[in-house]
């Protein structure tokens, strides 16, 4: 597992994002039996992620995390497992400081735990998991809860 980290906001360095990302993204890949994969991670602020959200999703507002898979891996049927990656460069994730901090505080969750949850979530998106359909959401959330539990993080949905 390799995380190619680009830090645009120095608060992420102080928060130990490199170690958080290696552990969170690595836990997803370990659970799914994927070896030798790479994830690119942009650690930015709300202004930058709002630009990305506008450019790629037509929503000019900040969000917590965005993901861009390197290839289409979605399941062929709702609730099914996505296709395994052919390309081990899985794609790109962007994560925004202010939104993450706000959400963690509002939920009463430690910042590092919330960041690891979002990185697990983003990595699952890179691997073709989604939450548009109820069956897909159930599968993705169950995986998140299982992986987060192995990281010592409580169920964020329960």
**C-beta atoms surrounding 73 within 10 Å:** 21
Residue 109 lies in a domain: yes
Strands (E), the chain: 2-7, 38-44, 65-69, 89-96
Q: What is the CATH number of the domain that holds 139?
A: 3.40.390.30
Residue 156 located in a structural domain: no
Residue 158, pLDDT score: 83
**Any domain includes 93:** yes
Contact at 8 Å (CB) between 147 and 31? yes
| d(C-alpha 19, C-alpha 15), whole Å | 9
Predicted pLDDT at 87: 92
- N-term to C-term CA, the chain: 29
Is residue 157 a part of any domain in this protein?
no
State the DSSP code for 59: -
Residue 123 is part of which domain span?
A: 2-150
Query: What pLDDT does 91 receive?
Result: 98
The number of distinct structural domains making up the chain is 1
Count of all residues that appear for the chain in the document: 158
Q: What pLDDT is stored for residue 143 in this prediction?
A: 97
Neighbours of 116 (CB within 10 A): 22
Domain contains 125: yes
83 in any annotated domain: yes
91 part of a folded domain:
yes
What pLDDT, on a 0 to 100 scale, did the predictor assign at position 60? 96
Q: What does the pLDDT profile of the chain (158 residues) look like in tens digits?
A: 899 999 999 999 999 999 999 999 999 999 999 999 999 999 999 999 999 999 999 999 999 999 999 999 988 898 999 999 999 999 999 999 999 999 999 999 999 999 999 999 999 999 999 998 999 999 999 999 999 999 999 999 98
* Within-domain flag for 155: no
Listing DSSP states for 63-86 in one string gives -SEEEEESS----SSTTSPPPPPS
């Amino acid at each position: 597992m390799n995380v190619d980290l680009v830090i645009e906001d120095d608060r992420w360095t102080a928060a130990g994002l490199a170690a958080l990302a290696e552990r969170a993204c690595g836990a997803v890949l370990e659970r799914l039996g994927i070896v030798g994969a790479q994830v690119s991670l942009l650690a930015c602020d709300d202004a930058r992620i709002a630009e990305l959200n506008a450019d790629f999703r037509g929503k000019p507002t900040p969000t917590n995390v965005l993901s861009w898979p390197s290839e289409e891996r979605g399941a062929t049927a709702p609730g099914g497992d996505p296709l395994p990656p052919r390309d081990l460069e899985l794609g790109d994730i962007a994560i925004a400081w202010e939104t993450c901090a706000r959400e963690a505080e509002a939920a009463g969750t430690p910042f590092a735990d919330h960041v690891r949850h979002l990185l697990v979530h983003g990595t699952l998106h890179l691997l073709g998991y989604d939450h548009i359909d109820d069956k897909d959401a159930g599968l993705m959330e169950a995986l998140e809860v299982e992986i987060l539990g192995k990281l010592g993080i409580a169920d964020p949905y329960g």
